[in-house]
């Protein structure tokens, strides 16, 4: 184990498909990552990609502290399939004083317990299913990010219905209570959205607003 004491951005506990992909992507994005798992082969696969990676056979407080998990700014517990281990590990990490603890849940009941002990909760399987369903039923939505149960950021591909229209003519804010926050045109990303800026077929526009209003706009102008 390491005696590394400096702060590290992210700790990942559990290197299943979700945890491994998370650790790998964070590292690729330039973040320092500490990865822990009880499987030596998984640690060997990730160790050259992250700041630190250790095999841990126990997830008690003493072992986690020896690994340095308390030095992380954010820890994500990715062992949702083993509910008891997930809850106990999350509790141990919280009690070690980590500022932000996120835990993977596999059911609503599991998630409620994790929230009760002070963790933020993610539902990877459910979230992927919801995301797919939205994309399947909204063919002009290229991607979206939920900000809350009401508000979302959605990326929409424009058809020729709006070709040549200016932002002022479109007046999304008044007609749909939406705001355009970016436009992607070929290889250019435009973030300075001025009233005289014109829209063209196949532009990708990122809009923020209530989901219902975004869907109304999609049906009228992007389908």
Per-position DSSP letters for 30-69, written without gaps between them: T--EEEEES-HHHHHHHTTTSSEEEE-S--SHHHHHHHTG
Q: What is the percentage of the chain residues whose pLDDT exceeds 90?
A: 43
pLDDT score, position 4? 47
Higher-confidence residue of 127 and 189: namely: 189
Band of residue 3 on the pLDDT scale cut at 50, 70, 90: very low
Higher-confidence residue of 174 and 93: namely: 93
Q: What value does the mean pLDDT take over residues 165-184?
A: 87
What pLDDT, in 10s, does the model give residues 132-168?
555 555 545 555 566 666 778 888 888 888 888 898 9
- Which of 39-53, 67-81, 95-109, 141-155 shows the lowest per-residue confidence on average (mean pLDDT)? 141-155
pLDDT score, position 91? 96
Domain 139-221 in CATH 3.30.420.10? The answer is no
Q: In this structure, are residues 50 and 76 in contact, taking their beta carbons and an 8 Å threshold?
A: no
SS3 101: strand
| φ, ψ of residue 44 in degrees (nearest 5) | -65, -35
SS3 73: strand
**Highest mean pLDDT (candidates 44-48, 77-81, 141-145):** 44-48
Q: What value does the mean pLDDT take over residues 117-127?
A: 84
Q: In this structure, are residues 213 and 180 in contact, taking their beta carbons and an 8 Å threshold?
A: no
Domain 8-127, second-level architecture: 3-Layer(aba) Sandwich (3.40)
Whether the predicted pLDDT of 59 surpasses 90 = yes
Alpha helices in 99-138 (DSSP H): 108-116, 124-137
Whether the predicted pLDDT of 203 surpasses 70 = yes
8-state DSSP, 75: E
Whether the model clears a pTM of 0.75, i.e. scores above it, the answer is: no
* Burial (CB count <10 Å: 0-12, 13-18, 19+), residue 132: exposed
pLDDT score, position 165? 87
pLDDT score, position 62? 95
| Per-domain residue ranges of the chain | 8-127, 139-221
pLDDT score, position 181? 84
pLDDT score, position 129? 61
pLDDT score, position 186? 81
């Amino acid at each position: 184990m390491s005696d590394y004491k400096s702060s590290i951005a992210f700790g990942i506990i559990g290197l299943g498909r979700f945890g491994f992909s998370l650790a790998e992507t964070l590292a690729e994005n330039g973040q320092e990552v500490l990865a822990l798992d009880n499987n030596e082969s998984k640690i060997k696969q990730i160790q050259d990609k992250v700041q630190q990676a250790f095999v841990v056979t126990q997830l008690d407080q003493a072992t986690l502290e020896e690994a340095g998990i308390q030095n992380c700014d954010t820890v994500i517990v990715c062992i949702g399939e083993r509910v008891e281990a997930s809850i106990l590990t999350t509790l141990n990490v919280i009690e070690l004083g980590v500022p932000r603890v996120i835990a993977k849940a596999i059911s609503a009941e599991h998630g409620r317990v994790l929230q009760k002990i002070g963790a933020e909760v993610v539902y990877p399987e459910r979230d992927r299913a919801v995301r797919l369903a939205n994309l399947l039923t909204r063919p002009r939505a290229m991607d979206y990010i939920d900000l809350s149960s009401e508000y979302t950021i959605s990326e929409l591909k424009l058809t020729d219905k709006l070709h040549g229209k200016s932002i002022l003519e479109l007046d999304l804010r008044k007609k749909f209570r939406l705001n355009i926050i970016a436009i992607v045109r070929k290889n250019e990303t435009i973030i300075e959205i001025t009233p005289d800026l014109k829209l063209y077929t196949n532009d990708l526009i990122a809009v923020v607003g209530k989901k219902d209003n975004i869907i109304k706009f999609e049906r009228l102008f992007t389908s």
